[in-house]
Copies of this chain bind each other. A is one copy, B any other.
Amino acid sequence: MMKQFLTINDLPDLNQAVNQGLELKKDPYKFESVGTHKTLGMLFFNPSLRTRLSTQKAAQHLGVKTMVMNFSNEAWALEFEDGTEMSGLRSEHIREAAAVVSQYCDVVAIRAFASLSDKEKDEQELVLKSFIKYASIPVINMESATAHPLQALADAITIKEFNTKKRPKIVLTWAPHPKALPHAVGNSFSRMVQLLDADFVIAQPKGYELNPEITGNTPCVYDQKEALEGADFVYAKNWCSYSQYGKILRTDKEWMLTQEKMKLTQQAKFMHCLPIRRNIVATDEVLNSPNALVIQQANNRTFAAQVVLKTILENG
């Protein structure tokens, strides 16, 4: 019984989910009657392209109706704190909003990014956890402060599609970016690969180590080139500092992914969740190479969402 999908660990079995995703990809409309008379609410507190469209497409495949809302400009500003006097700008409390949405929808999916200013609140996952607390329907995470599990499941499906080794070497490497970005994708990818039979290494500059509670026993090295050696999959992603929460510690290009660096690998596949800044995170050459899987990853977002939605609806 999956009543929420907050992190990749909410899946009862990652391998089974990956196989389901690959089956659905072969025949996307096979379960079109699963969603008859079901409605998915999609609530956005932040921008979205892939997540918005792929989740809608997944719902269409399953015959589920969608209702999309951009909270930032279409609805009321929400209050998440309990017990406050609501005399400020926030007109509606999450208690009511979540309970109300629960009556119009069968499942609700929510996107609410990290603030990157208040580590404690971000780690409490205030928005997502409040919806779970006060909603009476299952909640799907479409990227929260600390996790992006639909992306991680799509990444797992993509790795399964392209992997040729019994135990591939998978590298998650930090890469440069002009803006402070959240840790959600890095976190979820780390959690996911830890569930695979893989040789997993994370490379990042000093000060950019991810939350050690999430990376666990995964080796976290400071030498990108050493990490890339012999890699089968290279996942590039920027995130801001976790220890100096929200800070950008360096702006140089030393960690940008180049074809020269990719030569250190075993003709590794290059992965990124998108959107990606070209010639900042990775060069045009890397992204235009046949080894880049970024478009396939985006395609698999549909089937990842479809697995999650189908599992939830069949449980219900």
**B65 near A60 (CB under 8 angstroms)?**
yes
Q: Is A255 engaged at the interface, CB distance under 8 Å to the other chain?
A: no
**A47 near B76 (CB under 8 angstroms)?**
yes
Q: Is A277 engaged at the interface, CB distance under 8 Å to the other chain?
A: yes
- How many A residues touch B, CB cutoff 8 Å? 58
**B103 near A298 (CB under 8 angstroms)?**
yes
**Cβ contact of A274, chosen from B65, B96, B284, B299, cutoff 8 A:** B96
A73 to B74, CA, bound (A): 10
Check A75/B47 contact, CB under 8 A, given A37-B29, A93-B278, A275-B96: yes
Give the oligomeric copy count. Answer: 3
Binds B, one of A1-9, A49-57, A164-172, A185-193: A49-57
User: Within the complex, what minimum Cβ distance (angstroms) separates A87 from chain B?
Assistant: 5
**A104 near B57 (CB under 8 angstroms)?**
yes
**Cβ contact of A49, chosen from B48, B92, B93, B274, cutoff 8 A:** B92
**Cβ contact of A48, chosen from B44, B74, B93, B101, cutoff 8 A:** B74
A104 to B92, CA, bound (A): 34
CB within 8 Å of B: which of A65-100?
65, 67, 69-70, 73-76, 79, 82-88, 91-93, 95-97, 99-100
Could you name 14 residue pairs across A and B whose Cβ atoms are closer than 8 Å?
A44-B74, A49-B69, A53-B67, A53-B104, A56-B104, A87-B178, A88-B178, A92-B274, A93-B276, A96-B287, A96-B294, A100-B298, A103-B295, A103-B302
